[in-house]
Amino acid sequence: MTSYTILPQENSQYNLWTTFFKSKNHTMGCQRTDCIEKPLSNLFEKFGRIVGTYPVWFFVITLIVSGILGGGFYFLKDREDNDIERQFTPRSGPSKIARAFVKENFPNDDTEFSSQRLYEEGNYASIIMVSNDKSNILTTENLKNIIKVNNKVIDISVDVDQRELRFSHLCAKTNGHCVSNEILEMIDFNASRIEQTNITFPLYTHKSRQLFLGSAIGGVQANVKSEVKSAKAVKLFYFLESHTTRAEAWLKEFQRILSDERDNENIKVSYYTSQSKQEEIEKHTTDGIPLFSTTYSLAIAFSVISCLRLDNVRNKVWVAAIGVLSAGLAVLSSFGLMFYIGMPFVITVVNCPFLILGIGVDDMFIMVSNWQQTNVKDPVEKRMAHTYKEAAMSITITTLTDVLGFYIGLMSDFLSVQYFCLYTSTAVIFCYIYNITFFGAFLALNGRRERSNRHWLTCMKIPSENPKECSNGYSMCCVGGNYDKATGTEKEQPINHFFKKYYGPFLTKPWTKVIVIFIYAGYLAASIYGCFQIQQGIDLRDLAADDSYVIPYYDNDRQYFSTYGPNVMVIVSEKFPYWDKNKRSELLSCMEDFKKLQFITDDLYTSWLDYYEGYARSTHLNIDDEIVFSANLFLFLNLYPDFKQDVNFTSNAIHASRFFIQTVNIVNASMEIEMVNSLKETAESCSVVPLIVYHPAFIYYDQYAVIVSGTLQNIGVTTAVMLIIALLLIPNPLCCLWVTFSIVSVIVGVTGFMALWDVNLDSISMIILVVCIGFTVDFSAHISYAFVSCKKSSVNERIVDALFTLGYPIVQGASSTILGVVVLAASKNHIFRTFFKIMFLVMLFGLIHGITFLPVFLTLFTRNSEKQKSDLKKDFKSGVMPQMKLDKKCVACDNKVFVTDNFCNDKHTICTQKTHICVIQNKNNLSHTIWATDPDCP
């Protein structure tokens, strides 16, 4: 604890104690708030001295390690894993459990194919044809073109295992015949018959068979009798057998043949296969690599320009270039390490290098800024020690928060999120290590060049001042090494001068603070409004590139065929006494509850039990008797082969059965969410027997159940961890709370404006919201740390000093990150554009919070120094404060000289510092001395 010996005083110069008061609050014994921060700062100070002493070793060893780890890229192709279901759906989704149950109890029947009874998507190709003038597609001329395209598809053949296989060899069959398309079967493949055919929609009876046309013709206009007057589009399906290898070969040939039909003069043709979405995402996994090379070049150019100096010695061109190279080596090393140990490489990971580039450049700017504040006459080792003491601690805080944020992201139920967080957290660690070793080493080497006053390009020694006999041109090219003689540091850059002389004072004016508060209120209101507008879930359309052939298909499907949605299975998941009349009635009552839902049509309900009851009535069977029910069920199922797939009837017992309900008017993600939730709630409300609702599309709908809760969980846990870290490493609890406030505020803003920018909340945006937390900590922690570390007592002066020190580096870091991701805005891939949009919002709002909102709030809610002075004055008058002695000698700590108005109420007060004595002397030569035993002089 600091001890003081104070002698009698002449006047009540209480304001001398403000510095002591601040220092004492910061360092009082066990109540200190820097118990972790201070030892770490000292440790980094020692490490900085080591790097400054042996820079070549750190530089070379890092290059060797990077080269070795970079060899892991040899395994890149082997590590690619973009299985859409595995990566972009919840690992423990309930629909996957339901699918396993359906697969076990209702296996697909290859001899009696039924598309609505498939437990997974299956193998198929599909074509949507629309009239060029968007008129009625059901005309003789249009149908001739449709039949022509159909025949072209039927004639496709492929060579597999030295056999020529046509569609007829590979098609899914019913009763020994390929499954045909209803619209063509309805006119017997004769286009002219359409004029004589009176089509009813959505059900049409053809040769004693009811055909469902809801998925065959779209954009239908019908009269009150459900007779079709016109239609806009026709959809054809070509279902294949379950043999994957042969089906894949045929589907690839299908894509090649149909690509020529996209330019059909009479009808617009769009096509799709069951392989399309997987092929599209695999095709574009490495699309980000060329973009990264462009980004890398832009980052180097921006960093060089930002660090460019007119002084030929102080120029930081090579420092900036090496800073960007350091981030690139971090990506190379981290990815190589992941490839070596076998981590899957998914498309979301491609965004990681853009992110790491921003982090690395940001940290580089922080270190350069602190280097420039060291005394140019000091040895390089001492300058490095001082730089690391200040900068390394700051970037350690942000790195730690980033890494922990990404590790918390590993709790996500989406593998694509987990792998992104794993790759990125590893890259952040390497980026941090390389910044304090590789980049720090080069900073020291550059410092040696500066100390010997050598030219930044030629490394030749040059004079620090222009000789009188030399021209101005000579001065521009061959003179350098100037510095601020008063402080011993490098001269202020114009932008630093702007923050200190203009922006900082402007921001601390009372009326400016009022305006900022109103702006923040508007920002918060718009953000909260946007949060209530956000859509959930990933649209499979967005996994394809903009110029992909599947985009027109998705658009046409949504425009013309959204009237009828998934045909959903309702499954009785355990044994049930179907013969019991009362129990059966309760079960059918549960089915009626499904039909009452607003997006279910009861006209297209399919129930084997209803048909069996009708069969029993027509044959005068008493199926209320268990023996009669079971004995005749087998005969009934043989008469109706489709229903045979709906009843798991083995060992004379029904282990499970299923019914089908038809959904309607599911046109967007919100309706999908409402549909799934309502179906599950209705199933759970049936008390007579456990029910399961399932459709293959539900595998992707499961994301809706976890995306919001998962995002909130990740954000909540990450924010709590950030608060704990900030409390441990930032020596001021109040500022830690403001850092947490900034995190929450930016997340709300980013989420709200995401919705206003048409970005959904899905597994991709969830990743970047985790990133959002880390970057927000970066901005707020830098400013907060500088604010609480400042020795000035006035809050306005402290925030101006913090902005002067870190305002420009923060702007540089945000600008470089935005520049790093801006090329993604031009990407054809939705995933990359989404990354750009959210990162742009994160950078923009984080920057505004860091240099505008947070500084204002820190000055408003941090205790004002005037109040401290008032309290000290009262204590002094009451005798609590010890008295002071007059002395004309002025000495204090670290041989530094500074000018302040915080002690003697005089702007010309001067204090010099040396050893353990602190003295303040005003212009009238009246001085006041404090004798301190603590080596840290207040």
Domains of the chain by residue range? 33-76+308-453, 123-273, 497-546+702-864, 563-694
* β-strand partners of 235: 128
Q: Which of 714, 744, 740, 743 is nearest to 727 (CA)?
A: 740
Q: In 3-state terms, what secondary structure has residue 657?
A: strand
Handedness of CA 205, 207, 213, 218 (dihedral sign): negative
Angle value at C-alpha 800, between 799 and 806, nearest 5 degrees: 85
Looking at residue 743, its pLDDT comes to 83
Query: What is the DSSP code string of 161-229?
Result: TTEEEEHHHHB-EETTEEPPPHHHHHTTT-GGGGGG---BSSEEEETTEEEE-TTTEES-EE-TT-BEE
Q: Which tokens sit at 922? A: 């005003």
Residue 103: what pLDDT?
A: 93
Token readout for 804 is 């002067």
The fraction of the chain above a pLDDT of 90, given in percent, is 32
3-state helix, strand, coil in the chain (%, to 5): 60, 15, 30
Mean of pLDDT values over 722-750: 79
- How many Å apart are CA 827 and CA 357, to the nearest integer? 18
Distances (CA, A) of 35 to 28, 404, 725, 865: 10, 21, 13, 24
Asked if residue 935 has pLDDT above 50, the reply is: no
Mean pLDDT of the 648-676 span? 88
- Coil, helix or strand for 731? coil
Q: Is pLDDT of 724 > 70? A: yes
Spatial contact of 804 and 500, defined as CB atoms under 8 Å apart: yes
Q: Which CATH class is domain 497-546+702-864?
A: mainly alpha
Question: Could you tell me the pTM of the whole model?
Answer: 0.78
Q: Provide long-range contacts, Cβ within 8 A and 24+ apart, for 57-64.
A: 57/441, 58/437, 58/438, 58/440, 58/441, 59/438, 59/441, 59/442, 59/445, 61/437, 62/329, 62/434, 62/437, 62/438, 62/441, 63/329, 63/438
DSSP for 622-655, written as a single string: -TTSHHHHHHHHHHHHHHSHHHHTTEEEETTEEE
- Return all residues near 834 (Cβ < 8 A) that are at least 6 apart: 542, 759, 764, 765, 768
> pLDDT value at position 71?
95
Beta strand pairing status for 173-174 and 177-178?
Answer: antiparallel
Average pLDDT (836-847) is: 89
The per-residue pLDDT for range 111-164, each reduced to its tens digit, is 788 888 999 988 999 999 998 877 889 999 999 999 999 999 999 989 887 788
Q: Which two three-digit tokens encode residue 895?
A: 């041989």
Q: For the segment 346-373, what is each residue's pLDDT rounded down to a tens digit? A: 888 887 888 888 788 888 888 988 898 8
Does the bond joining 379 to the residue before it have cis omega, within 30 degrees of 0?
A: no
**Is there a common fold for 33-76+308-453 and 497-546+702-864?**
yes
Query: Is the pLDDT reported for residue 31 higher than 80?
Result: no
Measure CA 326 to chain center: 24
Q: Is the pLDDT of residue 28 over 50?
A: no
Do the bridges between strand 927-932 and strand 885-886 make them parallel or antiparallel, or are there none, so unpaired? antiparallel
User: Residue 341 burial by CB count (10 A; 0-12/13-18/19+): exposed, middle or buried?
Assistant: exposed
Query: Is 33-76+308-453 in CATH node 1.20.1270.10?
Result: no
pLDDT digit string (tens) for 857-902? 888 877 654 444 454 445 444 444 343 333 333 334 344 444 343 3
Q: Which amino acid is at 10?
A: E
Give the model's pLDDT for residue 1: 36
The band of 288, judged by pLDDT with boundaries at 50, 70 and 90, is low
3-state secondary structure of 438: helix
